[in-house]
Amino acid sequence: MPVNIGYYVHHHGSGHVMRAISISRALPDCTITFLGSRLEEYKNLMPENVNCIHLPMDTPEADDANFIPLNPVDALHYAPLNVKGIRDRNRLLTEFFSSNYPLILIVDVSVEIALLARLCSVPVIVVRQHGNRNDPAHMAAYQSASALLAPYHFKMQRSEAAWLTDKTIFAGGFSRYATDDIKNIQEIDNTIAILTGRGGTSIDLKFINHLADTCRSWRVEVIGILNEDYTQLPENVVLYGHLPDPIKILRRAKIVIGNAGHNSVMEMASMNKRFIVIPEKRPFDEQIDKAELLEELGLATVVQPNQLYDTNWKRLLSDTTRSVPDWRDLIDNDAVGRAADGILSVYRSIYV
């Protein structure tokens, strides 16, 4: 009997879909269906065993005349009233649930989708994230799940209830770069790579110009899209824009500056990089929590967004250059396979 897996992928940023693609590649014998919005741009990266159901956005449109945004429910995070997109996406989801059996659904991430699946009698694996997740809605999703999947090492969890730990598959950290592929990296002195993601960042052209101007002996190489005027750039700044694979630039950088998105952090781990992290405001303080953990573990230096122009960057870069990073415990070449094995184990425990 073929293993049938649904995979709900949240549309914010690129981290959720890239993780889903990595895990799906480790499940080549399974039939996998991605369910989410904005999946089209990642189509060329998806394995052959992955199909997509494109869900409408869950935000109000102009014709949602009776939209009611403020109706808080402790056990839900996002449940506005009278939004056609939500009705349409839930119809597509429930149709998928009813026409695909046996089925297990991986949810990365949404409390509402996890609870909807459970109400439809579909077993769920919920992907865990960092941040303050002890609210009633998260607890309801975790309790309803057949298992939880943490795409990070056990060391990166906070103290928590024993039942949460017992229910969690700690896969270990993984990124698109295998640690064996990046040994003997030849870093170039006085070279910074700035990595900007798609989920929103305080790293803008004003800050890049400030950094380059105050640290003129450093070459600043910027990866990512900045929606600003590039006509006036310091001579020591290079903008590369969006790169499908920035490994060459990241490899040669002596220091990387970036945000605390999970995939970015795991890429730094796989390359054993000196990392200056700027945590952005995210729901449940996810990036703040992760950045604090990294600093506690001695793996990164944290600069808050409101400190960008008050930091002595020349001194910080000099101090960071002298540091010797050691990310080995947090990254694992077998982590994706461990995640895949955990998913299959849960599936087989249900559908014996």
- For residues 92 and 217, state if they share a domain: no
Q: Based on the domain organization, do 99 and 233 belong to the same domain?
A: no
Tokens encoding 84: 């056609």
Query: Residue 128 CA to chain centroid, in angstroms?
Result: 11
**In contact, 94 and 120? CB cutoff 8 Å:** yes
Q: How far apart are CA 329 and CA 184, in angstroms?
A: 19
The model's pTM? 0.92
Residue 40 is predicted with a pLDDT of: 93
Half-sphere exposure of 307 (CA within 13 A, CB side): 13
Mean per-residue pLDDT, 149-157: 94
Pick from 55, 295, 26, 54: nearest CA to 149: 26
Q: What pLDDT score was predicted for residue 182?
A: 63
Q: State yes or no: pLDDT of 180 exceeds 80.
A: no
Do 21 and 140 share a domain, yes or no?
Answer: yes
Enumerate the β-bridge partners of residue 172: none
Same domain, 17 and 76: yes
pLDDT of residue 15: 84
Q: Which domain holds residue 213?
A: 179-330
On whether both 58 and 12 belong to a single domain, the answer is: yes
Same domain, 37 and 161: yes
Mean pLDDT of the chain: 94
| 104 CA to centre of own chain | 22
> Which pLDDT does position 184 carry in this prediction?
65
Place of tokens 């694979």: 245
Q: How many folded domains does the chain comprise?
A: 2
Strands (E) across 128-175 are located at 147-150, 168-170
User: Residue 179 above 90 pLDDT?
Assistant: no
Distance from C-alpha of 197 to C-alpha of 257, rounded to nearest angstrom: 11
| Beta carbons within 10 angstroms of residue 65's beta carbon | 8
Q: Do 273 and 340 fall within a single domain?
A: no
Same domain membership, residue 289 and residue 201: yes
pLDDT at 200: 80
SS3 letters across 227-268: CCCCCCCCCCEEEEECCCCCHHHHHHEEEEEECCCHHHHHHH
Q: Which pLDDT does position 14 carry in this prediction?
A: 83
Report how far apart, in Å, the C-alpha atoms of 85 and of each of 29, 54, 62, 186, 261 are.
33, 12, 11, 50, 27
**Is pLDDT larger for residue 94 or for residue 177?**
94
Mean pLDDT of 247-264: 95
120 and 193 in a common domain: no
- Do 317 and 338 fall within a single domain? no
- Look up the CATH number of the domain holding residue 321: 3.40.50.2000
Q: Are strands 237-241 and 104-108 parallel, antiparallel or unpaired?
A: unpaired
Q: Are residues 87 and 236 in the same domain?
A: no
CA angle 181, 185, 191 (to 5 degrees): 135
pLDDT tens sequence across 73-103: 999 999 999 999 999 999 999 999 999 999 9
Where residue 305 falls among pLDDT bands split at 50, 70, 90?
very high
Q: Where are the strands (E) in the chain, listed by range?
A: 4-9, 31-36, 50-54, 104-108, 124-127, 147-150, 168-170, 188-195, 219-223, 237-241, 253-258, 275-277, 301-302
50 & 138 share domain: yes
What is the per-residue pLDDT across 215-226, written as a single tens digit (0 to 9) for each? 999 999 999 977
**3-state SS assignment for residue 2:** coil
